[in-house]
Structure 1
Amino acid sequence: MKQKISLLQIYETKVHTKGSERFVQQSVIPEIKSLYPQMNEAMQKIADYLIDTEDKKCVERASELARRSGVSTASVSRFVKMMGYKEFRDFRLKIVMEKQEENRQEENELNYNGEPITGDAHSICKTIFSKSVRELEETWGILDFDTMQTVADLIHEARRIVVIGVGRSKVTMEALYSRLYRIGYPIMMFSDAHEIVNITSIMEKKDILICVSNFGQSKSVVEGARRAKKRGIQVVGISSIKESPLAKISDYTLFSAYDYNNAQDGNLFDPSSENLAQLVIVDCLYMLVAHKNKRKNITYFKTFSNEIHTEHIK
């Protein structure tokens, strides 16, 4: 009989030893990456150095790590405590062991958001599910519910809803479009750079612009937001970077978890589990908006469900 495993158990790594087995906690480097969005600037400098460096001597002393990272020794101490270690020497031992293991991995190994893709179908799927679950949990942890409600209110009251996005951000954009369109909201979407220029040049008050950019740096999307702002349009961003150009110019931003690996490695176009987190954000918005006129929308849902059967082949 196939043993069931919960999503949370995916995070545990089973280590086999002679005649026995034990479970160990999540390794340090992935934990650093998952905590990265919650770190202050000094801690992020330490994290960047530890993730990128190949020099094991960087963790021999707290003072040396501080010097190489460009921060104070006190910041290193706070960083170690944030990671769950009482003493620097305990953290040092764990990080050195993982760096050694890291260096044994083959170069140019296929990966999914920084996680190695190796083994059989079970192993590969487990890696992808683990990453996706982690992105969802991190997104839940940073979700601003007041902002979610405000954006839902803006969508409900808007004369026209315009959504723009390019590349893989179109996945999120198209999901939002299909959900709001089916309950009668006046929504349109654009991904072509010239069309984005056109629509953001002619938007009018009471319109709302929703900009989707995973890393908040897509030129046509950011420039579209700036253009709309000049016309007095309310701008909503959906992104994962708090200090991105898009986040800075948006009136409201809904953040999904920060994908450290893709950002640092420049893999901005690889498949990403952050799209899943953004799709869940879209579903939350959809339900919040639909709840505004629940009776009417339930009627829409029933009518649509009944009529869609005519499109099914019997």
Structure 2
Amino acid sequence: MKETIKTVGNEVTQVMASIDEDQARQLSKAIQNAPTIFVLGEGRSGLMAKAFAMRLMHAGYQVYVIGETITPSIQKGDLLVAVSGSGTTKTIVDMAKKAAESKAEVFAITTDPQSPLAEISEHTLVIPAATKYRRPTEPGTIQPLGNQFDQSLHLILDAVIIYSLNGGNNRQTNDQLKARHANLE
């Protein structure tokens, strides 16, 4: 068991070390400048996107998850963070196109910088991790499906929020974030 835990940790560490810092900084800047942030993802990537949205809310950003009943329309100048490991998920690509047509800024998070999602986005954060497709350009992994992508995605998005809070115009204490945490539990 220890060896499996160590291997998984090492795999994620390698992915994190390969992240393009400029792309991560661009995402931080886009978050800080957006009047409203929308997040989008399907399946397990969608769960990671929802976790990201919750953390953005804790940080005081106005954020919505696409597909929820209270999500308003996206407007010019808003930010859509669209997550798809493959960058080919049809619903994600279609919604990103609609957001771009609305003059919102579209930021793709994917493993493939040449994917349809990346091509229609203004900016892309590439997570160089394995997906369920096991393309030749993806790193090796002992993990099933897109686990390596999902884990790395979760950690890099947390790092982007921490960077945004510590280096941006939205500095806050843990108590301020905690005050926004759900209290009807």
TM bin (shorter chain):
0.7 to 0.9
Distance 1:235 1:307 in 2: 27
CA apart distance, 1:307 = 8.9
The list of structure 1 runs, each at least 4 consecutive aligned residues, that deviate by more than 2 angstroms after superposition, is 125-129, 303-308
| Superimposed CA distance per residue, residues 24-78 of structure 1 (whole angstroms, 9 cap, x where no aligned partner) | xxxxxxxxxxxxxxxxxxxxxxxxxxxxxxxxxxxxxxxxxxxxxxxxxxxxxxx
Higher helix share: 1
CA apart distance, 1:177 = 0.8
Distance 1:251 1:307 in 2: 31
Aligned to 2:57: 181
Q: Secondary structure at the match of 1:154?
A: helix
2:155 to 280, 294, 306: 280
Shift in CA distance, 170/161, structure 1 to aligned 2, threshold 3 Å: same
2:175 to 287, 297, 302: 302
Output aligned runs, 1:146-161, within 5 Å.
146-161=22-37
Distance 1:227 1:221 in 2: 10
- Listed as ranges, the gaps of 5+ residues in structure 2 are 136-143
Q: Secondary structure at the match of 1:163?
A: strand
Return the letter of the residue paired with 2:162: M
Q: Which has the higher contact order (CA 8 A, sep 6+)?
A: 2
- Listed as ranges, the gaps of 5+ residues in structure 1 are 1-121
CA contact (8 A) 1:132 1:274 kept: no
Distance 2:37 2:23 in 1: 17
Return the letter of the residue paired with 1:136: T
CA apart distance, 1:257 = 2.1
Q: CA RMSD in A?
A: 2.8
Aligned to 1:168: 44
Q: Secondary structure at the match of 1:150?
A: helix
| Superimposed CA distance per residue, residues 73-98 of structure 1 (whole angstroms, 9 cap, x where no aligned partner) | xxxxxxxxxxxxxxxxxxxxxxxxxx
Return the letter of the residue paired with 1:275: D
Distance 2:149 2:122 in 1: 22
Task: Give TM-score scaled by structure 1 length.
Answer: 0.49
CA contact (8 A) 1:135 1:257 kept: no
Shift in CA distance, 216/129, structure 1 to aligned 2, threshold 3 Å: farther
Larger radius of gyration: 1
CA contact (8 A) 2:129 2:148 kept: no
CA contact (8 A) 1:166 1:191 kept: no
| Superimposed CA distance per residue, residues 168-203 of structure 1 (whole angstroms, 9 cap, x where no aligned partner) | 1123202211111012100001257xx7xx96xx42
Task: Give TM-score scaled by structure 2 length.
Answer: 0.80
Aligned residues: 174
Percent identity of paired positions between Structure 1 and Structure 2:
24
